[in-house]
Amino acid sequence: MKDAFRLPIGETGRLLSLLSAAGAIEDQLESALGEVGLSIAKMGLIANLVDIDEAISLSRLADRCACVRSNITQLVDRLESDGLVQREADPDDRRSIRATLTPAGRERYEAGRAVLEDRVGAMVARIGGKIPNSIIEQMERLAGRACS
Amino acid sequence: MKDAFRLPIGETGRLLSLLSAAGAIEDQLESALGEVGLSIAKMGLIANLVDIDEAISLSRLADRCACVRSNITQLVDRLESDGLVQREADPDDRRSIRATLTPAGRERYEAGRAVLEDRVGAMVARIGGKIPNSIIEQMERLAGRACS
DNA sequence: AAAGATTGACTCCTCAATCTTA
DNA sequence: TAAGATTGAGGAGTCAATCTTT
């Protein structure tokens, strides 16, 4: 979210500030990844491919990325034209298309991981080097997906 | 951000979880506002108009919304076709275009405010009715715009 | 009919280029 | 020249409709 608009109503303004800060953090990660030709969305997809370490159908990828299939179609389009990901046919089901990482994609992942580690390190240093569990828990609770 | 991808690296994964939770909260506000035909972006703009309470140039609006001018051009396009905002010429500077709220816009703002208050109330109730200052402060610090 | 992928149309955002007015 | 607004192109996301294959 770009900016917390002023709403002098109970907790709403405070929640909007929280989201605004989260947006600023996200922007910084986006810009860090931009330095190596990635974005959070692209990094998210290739991180999944690295994690799985084998060809995976675009549908399963959509599940893992928690987004809609058509979004993956377009994201893979861009990653394919970046040369980081490849589509391949699934011999067992001709409806299905699977994505794999190219060698360049794997290298790019490493670059993204490094740049992210750096930037996050600098951020987290500002609050003493560790993100307290309590913050994560409260945010998850607010989101209604608390683990407890 | 859609989903925190797994990055088994120091604090990075934890920060991504935080952003993912923030995204989930944002989605819920977006959907609440959607019930009255608004979005966070639209609500942000009309909340600024309500706050200012007079015609304001699109450039100043862009500053207040913390976004780029061309974004305001398009947002105002959509709000104008929703009938919530109107453009008017500035008699003092013929380059400038000012935005004003229509009566429908003001009513819609009230609807948005109400629905937001409800939804935020329900969320905040899950953590005891108040968002602790400590969370906001830590998030601002992480974002590098700490007030202290 | 239902699943997998794509396409088209839309919101929301950015940047770069353009056009008008100051 | 610079400031105000718009346009064009593109990234990232959604939804609805389509097409092929199961």
Q: How many residues does chain A have?
A: 148
Cα separation of B98 and B109, whole Å? 19
The DSSP bridge partners found for residue B101 are B85
Contacts of A56 (CB under 8 A, 6+ apart): A48, A49, A64, A98, A99
**CB–CB contact B136 A19 (8 Å):** no
Which of A142, A12, A144 shows the shortest CA–CA distance to B113? A12
Mean of the per-residue pLDDT values for chain B? 95
**Region B113-135: what's the mean pLDDT?**
96
Q: Looking at per-residue confidence, does B9 or B16 come out higher?
A: B16
pLDDT in tens, A15-33: 999 999 999 999 999 999 9
Scanning A31-50 for CB atoms below 8 A from B yields: 40-41, 43-44, 47-48
Burial of A130 (0-12, 13-18, 19+ CB in 10 A): exposed
pLDDT in tens, A68-101: 999 999 999 999 999 999 999 999 999 999 999 9
What pLDDT score does B7 carry? 79
pLDDT in tens, B36-83: 999 999 999 999 999 999 999 999 999 999 999 999 999 999 999 999
pTM value is 0.96
Mean of the per-residue pLDDT values for chain A? 95
Evaluate if residue A148 carries a pLDDT over 60: no
What pLDDT score does B148 carry? 53
**CB–CB contact B47 A19 (8 Å):** no
Of all residues in chain B, what percent carry a pLDDT higher than 90?
91
Q: Which bases of chain C are under 7 A from a protein CB atom?
A: 3-9, 11-17, 20-22
- Protein footprint of strand D, defined by Cβ closer than 7 Å to any strand atom: A 39-42, 67-68, 70-71, 74-75, 78, 93-95; B 1-2, 57-60, 62, 69-70, 72-74, 76-77, 87, 90, 93, 95-98
**CB–CB contact B117 A10 (8 Å):** yes
C-alpha separations of A51 from A47, A100, B16 in Å: 6, 12, 16
Evaluate if residue B144 carries a pLDDT over 90: yes
